[in-house]
Amino acid sequence: MTGIFLITSIAILITMALALIRAMLGPTVFDRVLALNMVGTKTVLLIAVVDVATERGDFLDLALLYSLMNFIGMVALLRFTEYGSFSREGTEL
């Protein structure tokens, strides 16, 4: 774990902590959604940094999966916020 990777991961961790604090305080729903999305993105970045730093090469697939999961979860959350359910006017998805 050389200097540049250490500094990068510390910066990402600080960003994650700030996003977490925003999610805890967050007065509106959209603060929380944004914070959750940000934690997901920073997780992907952290995995990528750890992958390069430890020269593994196989963690990058997991980073891809994480970003997909982040996207799906975000779409589900926002649909629920917008319509109060996953469907519009009772039409099932």
Partner 1 sequence: MNLIVFTILAMLAATAVTVARIRDLWAAIMFTGIYSFLSASWMLILDAPDVAFTEAAVGAGISTVLMLSTLVLVGPSDAGRRKPALVPLTVVTITGCALVYGTLDMPHFGDPNDPIHLHPRPSFVEKSQVDMHGLPNVITSVLASYRGYDTLGETTVVLTAGIAVLLILRKEKDEPEREAVSQ
Which contiguous run of DSSP H or E holds residue 23? helix 3-25
Distance between CA atoms of 46 and 50, rounded to whole angstroms?
6
Task: Write the burial class of residue 12 (CB in 10 Å: 0-12 exposed, 13-18 middle, 19+ buried).
Answer: buried
One residue of 9, 15, 22, 52 binding partner 1 per CB under 8 A:
9
Contact set for partner 1, span 21-80 (CB under 8 A): 23-24, 26, 29, 32-33, 36, 39-40, 43, 46-47, 50, 58-59, 62, 65-66, 69-70, 72-73, 76-77, 80
CA-nearest of 15, 14, 49 to 35 is 15
- Interacting residues with partner 1 (CB under 8 A): 1, 6, 9-10, 13, 16-17, 20, 23-24, 26, 29, 32-33, 36, 39-40, 43, 46-47, 50, 58-59, 62, 65-66, 69-70, 72-73, 76-77, 80, 84-87, 89-90, 92
